[in-house]
Amino acid sequence: MTELPPPEAVIVAGGFGTRLLPLTARRPKHLLDVGGVPFLEHQIARLAEAGVEHIVLATSYQADMFAPVLGDGSRWGVRLDYVLEEEPLGTGGAIRNVAGALTDDPNGAVIILNGDVLSGHDLAGQLADFRAGRNGRRVDVSLHLVEVEDARAFGCVPTDEEGRVLDFVEKSDHPVTNQVNAGCYIFRRDIIDTIAPDTVVSVERETFPGLVADGRLVVGFVETAYWRDVGTPAALVAASRDVVLGTAPTPAVDAVESGARVDPSASVAGTATVGGGSVVMADVVIEDAAEISGSVLMTGARIGAGARITDSVVGPGAVVGEKAVLTEATLGDDATIGASVTLPAGERVDCGEAREG
Ligand code: GDD
Ligand code: MG
């Protein structure tokens, strides 16, 4: 038997992050702070832990912002390459577009991650299952699958009793099962070459249904470990809390016993309280008696005395006036909230926008 090359990975990270606006107006969602570090650091650390040595980032939106933050991968002992799509090619087109950066061994295993999923599932186990095959037959693609309560926002993936994928229906109003695509695939290397090059292709709407219809062996890897797509402000802030409080296992950072991660360069008044899994990034200033719970305060944000911020994201450089009240709010970069203003729950304030009482 010839030796298999080590597994490689691709992170598809070219989406606009529309549901995370205004936080994504000036940066890709994949670099937003979750648990105190740019989101992709969780995924890169996990891949490194699973034995991956080479990771390719498929980028498009704000592509030049990735390398200055993540570098060449040496921090994690991996080689990190960046491949740019001038025009976004869709999830399938993005995967096909990085083929030239991957091994050309047709039997290589390529792990593909949606770049916005925080997951504790057993990646090494999924890889072993992929390589084990089924009844002497090689697996073409393995899909990590999870159960959700409402499957409408996801790819719905029914399987048979042996775990073989029967269909793939992306975002339907009437999902036939609550078992959904969790956004971690393992492709055999030669399957990637079956995707049309230089073409906009959706892996969910075209490639997966096509592979199943062609009788390819697509299998599900069902897991119940921690899993969350961080694609909305509510999910981002929940994921960040989960990392800080240790509910979400990640090799990228340690959980914090005090219940909050505060950057050493931040200035927090002694009478202020910061807890509930909050993250306070660099150069943030929090004044007297402010109460911060379950929130993310990004670099350089300023919080006035007596302000109350709960389950919210305060973007870089945003200013919250004294006694203002924010609940499940999202403030874009440099937004300002006047003194004593109470925002309606779930409110979003654009970059640079001012709200007065
Ligand atoms: N390079 C590149 N080019 N990346 C892209 C493109 C593109 O044109 N379009 C989307 N992406 C990336 C996004 O940046 C993200 O990391 C990933 O592909 C998935 O896109 P989302 O926009 O986050 O999709 P979704 O959350 O609605 O649905 C996907 O994830 C669900 C699980 O979280 C689908 O894969 C569903 O089937 C799945 O259930
Ligand atoms: Mg998503």
What is residue 251's predicted lDDT score, i.e. its pLDDT?
Answer: 96
Q: Are 139 and 133 in contact (CB under 8 A)?
A: yes
Sign of CA dihedral 215, 216, 221, 226: negative
Among 39, 35, 41, CA closest to 277: 35
Residue 64, Cβ neighbours under 10 Å: how many?
9
Give the angle subtended at the CA of 18 by the CAs of 12 and 21, to the nearest 5°.
Answer: 125
What is the C-alpha to C-alpha distance for residues 113 and 24, in angstroms, rounded to an integer?
20
Q: What share of the chain has pLDDT > 70, as a percent?
A: 99
Mutate to test the pocket of ligand 1, among 56, 91, 96 (most ligand atoms within 8 A of CB): 91
Task: Please give the structure tokens belonging to residue 9.
Answer: 């990975």
Residue 3: is its pLDDT beyond 90? no
Please state the atom number of ligand 1 nearest to the C-alpha of residue 200. Answer: 8
Region 164-186: mean pLDDT is 97
Spacing, Cα 286 to ligand 1 middle (Å): 35
Domain 256-355: CATH architecture, name and number where available: 3 Solenoid (2.160)
What is residue 75's predicted lDDT score, i.e. its pLDDT?
Answer: 97
Please state the atom number of ligand 1 nearest to the C-alpha of residue 154. Answer: 39
* CA-nearest residue, atom 10 of ligand 1: 15
Domain ranges, ordered by start, for the chain: 8-229, 256-355
Region 162-189: mean pLDDT is 97
**pLDDT band at 357, cuts 50/70/90?**
confident
Which residues lie below 8 Å from residue 246, measured CB to CB, with a gap of 6+?
255
What is residue 2's predicted lDDT score, i.e. its pLDDT?
Answer: 64
Mutate to test the pocket of ligand 1, among 10, 11, 12 (most ligand atoms within 8 A of CB): 12
Read off the pLDDT of residues 42-94 as tens digits, 9 standing for 90 and up.
999 999 999 999 999 999 999 999 999 999 999 999 999 999 999 999 999 99
* CA-nearest residue, atom 3 of ligand 1: 14
What is residue 4's predicted lDDT score, i.e. its pLDDT?
Answer: 81
Spacing, Cα 196 to ligand 1 middle (Å): 18
What is the C-alpha to C-alpha distance for residues 347 and 248, in angstroms, rounded to an integer?
26
Residue 1: is its pLDDT beyond 60? no
CATH of domain 8-229: 3.90.550.10
Q: Which residues have any ligand 1 atom within 6 Å of their CB?
A: 12-15, 58-60, 85, 88-91, 94, 114-117, 154-155, 170, 180-183, 204, 229, 231
Spacing, Cα 91 to ligand 1 middle (Å): 6
- The mean pLDDT of the chain is 97
Q: What are the CA-CA distances from residue 121 to residues 61, 125, 143, 280 (Å)?
A: 28, 9, 12, 28
Q: Which ligand is nearest to the CA of 87?
A: 1
**pLDDT band at 5, cuts 50/70/90?**
confident
Spacing, Cα 64 to ligand 2 middle (Å): 21
Region 343-356: mean pLDDT is 97
Q: Are 93 and 194 in contact (CB under 8 A)?
A: no
Region 258-276: mean pLDDT is 97
The upper half-sphere exposure of residue 274, i.e. CA atoms within 13 Å in the direction of its Cβ, equals 27
Q: Which ligand is nearest to the CA of 182?
A: 1
**pLDDT band at 254, cuts 50/70/90?**
confident
Query: pTM of the predicted model, to two decimals?
Result: 0.97
* CA-nearest residue, atom 7 of ligand 1: 90
Spacing, Cα 116 to ligand 2 middle (Å): 5
Spacing, Cα 140 to ligand 1 middle (Å): 21
Spacing, Cα 81 to ligand 2 middle (Å): 22
Please state the atom number of ligand 1 nearest to the C-alpha of residue 115. Answer: 16
